[in-house]
Amino acid sequence: MFGDQSAEPYFRPSRRAAFSVLGASVVAGLTACTAAEGAYESSTPVLTPGAAAESPAVPAASVSPAPTPTPTPTATKRIRKSFVPDYQLPPIVGGLAPVITKIETQHPVVFLTIDDGNIKTPESVKLLAEYDYPASLFLTKDTIADNPAFFNAFKAQGSLVENHTVTHNINMVRQWGYQQQLTDMVGMQEYAFHHYGRRPTLFRPPGGAYSNVMRKAVADAGMKAIVTWEAKANAGKMDYQVGNSLRPGDIVLMHFRAEFAADLAAFRSAQLAAGLEVVLLEDFLGVA
């Protein structure tokens, strides 16, 4: 144990399991996506990425001297990489996707993940842009189908859409066999590809519970890993499964809920206090 939080967070020798490759079948009690999800509300889409528009780097040796108006229609701002990732995503072994709970890294980085997609407010777009946070958005088809275009604004800021199923059945591990789980995952893969032009590489189980059957379905659906968490921003405050502050490599869970601004404020406060940079998980894992 290293409960004592001392001054140098980056070189902790601890070898906490960063991912569960062992068969531990079901992780319960990770209260993601709980009751508050019932609230469902839509709002006006924000489709103006204007503020985020930055002029892209000009290619060095441009062929034509003619002033061609460079159309950069959906040019996304790629995530800054001020580091060389020091973490290797475990491979799929025996047909089972790895499960990642935290990234073992010596870099002062933290990863923001935002789930579901129920509450769609211009404010959430504005805040992520203002803080320049890229995030992994684990979206559920059934909660975004009323307005999938809303999430394009985040994409334009450098966030990526990942897979949180079609139906968000928090009991899928217990109630469904392999084929039904796979179908629910593939449905979201295709939906994401259709609306956002990319098939997700990461999967977050609704409610957080997973099993080896799920790990196999995730791999067979074409994804690289199951991603859980050890810290979350919830009800306007941070909750930690380990310790009482953010650590390098933490994966933080949030939701698109009514209290988005308060949750993000709690996260930002913890992130700044810990001196961590918010970087995109997919960039760090090489699965963007």
Binding status of residue 283 toward Zn ion by CB under 5 A: no
Q: Pick the piece of the chain touching Zn ion (CB under 5 A) from 7-15, 22-30, 33-41, 223-231.
A: 33-41
Binding status of residue 263 toward Zn ion by CB under 5 A: no
Binding status of residue 116 toward Zn ion by CB under 5 A: yes
Query: Residue 5 class from Cβ within 10 Å (0-12 exposed, 13-18 middle, 19+ buried)?
Result: exposed
Binding status of residue 184 toward Zn ion by CB under 5 A: no
Under a CB-based contact definition with an 8 Å cutoff, are residues 16 and 104 in contact? yes
Q: Pick the piece of the chain touching Zn ion (CB under 5 A) from 45-53, 111-119, 221-229, 257-265.
A: 111-119
For Zn ion, the closer CB: 33 or 119? 33
Binding status of residue 142 toward Zn ion by CB under 5 A: no
**Residues near 1 by beta carbon (within 8 Å), at least 6 away in sequence:** none
Query: Residue 119 class from Cβ within 10 Å (0-12 exposed, 13-18 middle, 19+ buried)?
Result: buried
Torsion sign, CA atoms 213, 217, 218, 220: positive
Q: Cα–Cα distance between 13 and 254 in angstroms, integer?
A: 28
Binding status of residue 115 toward Zn ion by CB under 5 A: yes
Which of residues 30, 33, 253, 279 is near Zn ion by CB under 5 A? 33
Q: Pick the piece of the chain touching Zn ion (CB under 5 A) from 25-33, 86-94, 153-161, 191-199.
A: 25-33
Q: Smallest distance from the beta carbon of 53 to Zn ion, in angstroms? A: 31
Binding region for Zn ion (CB under 5 A): 33, 115-116, 206
